[in-house]
Chains A and B, each alone.
Chain A
Amino acid sequence: MKRLLKIFSKVMGIKEVLITEETSKEDTPAWDSFNSLMLVSEIESAFNIKFSIQEAVSIKSVKDIKNILEKHGIILI
């Protein structure tokens, strides 16, 4: 989870302590479409996986990302 938080914090420019699983697109002003792609790109290289286009489109919260990573066999603790 720490790694994901770090990436998320870097891309969106908000402090790690302020990020929870519930953090979503709606309450994160920096979460625009380009940052969304950058988030996908960063997670892909950090965890060495590839998101499908549906997965990439479906991400709306930190929890969504966690779930997708789980589907790829990465359990965040």
Chain B
Amino acid sequence: MPDKNNIKNIVDKIAVESIADYFSADKKIEQAKKNIPDGKRFKIAIFSSFTAKGVKEVLNVECFKLGIIPEFFVSDYKQYAQDILDKNSSFYSFKSDLAIVFIDTRSLLGENFFLPYQISDAKRKKDIEEKFVELKSLAQTILKRTSARIIFHNFETPLYSPLGILENKQKFGFCQAIEELNFKLRELFKNNSRVFLFDYNSFSSKIGKNRLSDPKMYYLADIKVNLEYLPVLAREYLSYIKAMLSLSRKCLVLDLDNTLWGGIVGEDGIEGIKLGPTPEGRPFLEFQKYILSLFNRGIILAINSSNNQNDVSKVLKEHPYMILKEKHFAAMQINWNNKISNMREIQKQLNIGLDSMVFIDDSKVNREMIKEAIPEVLVVDLPQDPSLYARSLMEINDFNTIGLTKEDKKRGRMYASQREREKFKEVATDIESYLKNLNTVVTFKKADSFTIPRIAQLTQKTNQFNMTTRRYIEEDIEKFLKSNDYLVISAKVEDKFGDNGIAAAAVVEKTPEIAKKQWRIDTFLLSCRVIGRAIEKVMLNYIIEQAKKEGAEMLVGEFIATSKNDPAKDFYKNNGFNLAEEEKDFQKWHFAIGKKQAEYPEFIKVLKD
């Protein structure tokens, strides 16, 4: 492990206001890196068609601030094609985790950027097709020869045309050519999980194409991105990097008064607050709509508000323009406690990391308080003007993930129904009747192409109820299936409060031994949101049933202790297994199948495919 304190000391001293600060901070970091023991470095390769000096420096600093220790390969000026195509280039010994490919429109078109109509429409079409093939082969070469992911820039559409207003009347115009290229690149990479097309054209529009590049800098040094905008560009790259390194955040904690609606409900009353299709109400209405769209992509929502519970309940239930309702919130801390303890309470209830939370509050005092007390939480500096709320939330790049499984999308909903489940548990007289009244349905499925991504994800992310904590990627699971020696299963869990999606999985190796047929449970895990509901018992019995069907006589269970999987510790012991071997953190448990029948608890309905 790199020395965390050491990194923190350096980071605390870094104050970057302008590009020159990045260069001096970069030097300090390079110096500091020498004292940080070799550990996992995040290796980034940068390829560009122009002078991209500064990109590495800014990215180095920004990564470091996040606790990532990057290492760089910067392809020399205009050497990108050679460095990628030559298999002996040092890029390939570098073994990058990420390759950024930034080729700009001018370099791509060369002479034809200024004289686009010196060639015929047909030739232009052919040319752009050729360029597309070249770009495609660059990307594919990287994919084939490395395991890196790629951020591939698309192309800025030109702001001018020699034909002026007739540009869009051409058979295959100059601007159209670039648009078509962008379109084709998007199609090409759409289904490739390792390549991300970075919409540089939109990015430059956001900044303003004429501001983003300074012609003077271009003529003086072939600089295509004005130095002062490099930090903004680096921020875009960080959206991907954070997602790749699982530094994403997944929970949005919201204040209410003057955040989700205008005014103070305790004083103005439900009729008096500003929310709805009026000039002052619409910013809040649309802010809520945007938050709902985040919920729909899987972000967990919570409330942290100083208010009377009844006032808020009334708004949530009765206000005609309230977009966010009780059913969207996974935790609601509405009281007069201080917001710091509320925040910790929410964290406890949801059982997620503080570093996966984002806090939104219109009050600067509250924001500073949280920043100070819980620095792990990302606090959004909401502008004074509510009409800018939505935009400032859209700027947050911390909700990105490199993929989105069906379960991810449902996450917000699942946590919200968990709150209802807990409420239900409080009113239930005993645990038995609680479980009985949940109407749980567990559906077992043997792994297939639809469930493999989620199974791999569960092995990557599950820490608590995980017998062996073996991490697998999708390719590993596919290998298991191909070999026919493995049974890989997933369990979908539903109840009357909603669908938890695939929440449990197991990998079982069918080892046919001479004396007796043994099945080894390689992986057995349960997502933390379904712990305590006997799902694990059901899954074990399903495995017993399958083993029996195929004539196995013995089940071998393994347990590897980690600092986090205490909840799984006694599982085999409590389910009739006998300890057969023990060595340090590793245990082997045996279970004779014999005549034993699978026993499913009455209160769970089991479906098998």
Contact = CB atoms under 8 A, between A and B. Distances in A.
Interface string A33-77: 110011001101110001111001100000000000000000000
Interface string B207-241: 00000001011011101001110000000000000
B20 A38 contact: yes
Most A CB contacts (10 A, CB to CB) among B19, B24, B219 go to B19
B20 A42 contact: yes
A38 B23 contact: yes
B18 interface: yes
Nearest to A33: B221
B445 to A, nearest CB: 58
Nearest to B27: A13
A56 B20 contact: no
B21 interface: yes
B53 A34 contact: yes
B61 to A, nearest CB: 14
A10 B223 contact: no
B221 A37 contact: yes
A34 B219 CA distance: 13
Contacts of B20: 7, 10-11, 38, 42
Given A37-B227, A41-B226, A45-B18, A53 B216 contact: yes
A34 B18 CA distance: 15
Interface string A3-15: 0000100110100
B19 A37 contact: no
A45 B216 CA distance: 15
Interface in B7-40: 18-21, 23-24
B220 A56 contact: yes
Most A CB contacts (10 A, CB to CB) among B53, B216, B221 go to B216
B216 A52 contact: yes
Contacts of A53: 216, 219-220
A29 B24 CA distance: 16
Contacts of A51: 216
Contacts of A52: 216
Secondary structure of the A contact surface, majority rule:
helix
A38 B217 contact: no
Contact of A34 (B21, B24, B216, B221): B221
A34 B220 CA distance: 10
A53 B227 CA distance: 16
Nearest to A7: B20
Given A13-B24, A37-B223, A56 B216 contact: yes
A74 B227 CA distance: 23
B220 A41 contact: no
A42 B20 CA distance: 7
Nearest to A10: B20
A13 B214 CA distance: 25
A44 B227 CA distance: 11
A37 B23 contact: no
Contact of B21 (A10, A46, A57): A10
Contacts of B21: 10
Contacts of B226: 41
Interface in A9-39: 10-11, 13, 33-34, 37-38
Contacts of B219: 53
A54 to B, nearest CB: 10
Contacts of B23: 11, 38
Interface string B179-217: 000000000000000000000000000000000001011
A45 B220 CA distance: 18
A45 to B, nearest CB: 5
Contacts of A42: 18-20
A38 B21 CA distance: 11
Nearest to B53: A34
A41 B221 contact: no
B134 to A, nearest CB: 29
A17 to B, nearest CB: 18
A10 B221 contact: no
Contact of A45 (B53, B223, B228): B228
Nearest 4 Cβ contacts at the A-B interface: A41-B227, A10-B20, A53-B216, A11-B20
Interface of B: 18-21, 23-24, 53, 214, 216-217, 219-221, 223, 226-228
Given A11-B23, A45-B18, 14 more contacts: A10-B18, A10-B24, A33-B221, A37-B221, A37-B223, A38-B20, A38-B23, A38-B227, A41-B227, A51-B216, A52-B216, A53-B216, A56-B220, A57-B220
Interface of A: 7, 10-11, 13, 33-34, 37-38, 41-42, 44-46, 50-53, 56-57
24 contacts: A7-B20, A10-B18, A10-B21, A11-B20, A13-B24, A33-B220, A33-B221, A34-B53, A34-B221, A37-B217, A37-B223, A38-B19, A38-B23, A41-B19, A41-B227, A41-B228, A42-B20, A45-B228, A50-B214, A50-B216, A51-B216, A53-B219, A53-B220, A57-B220
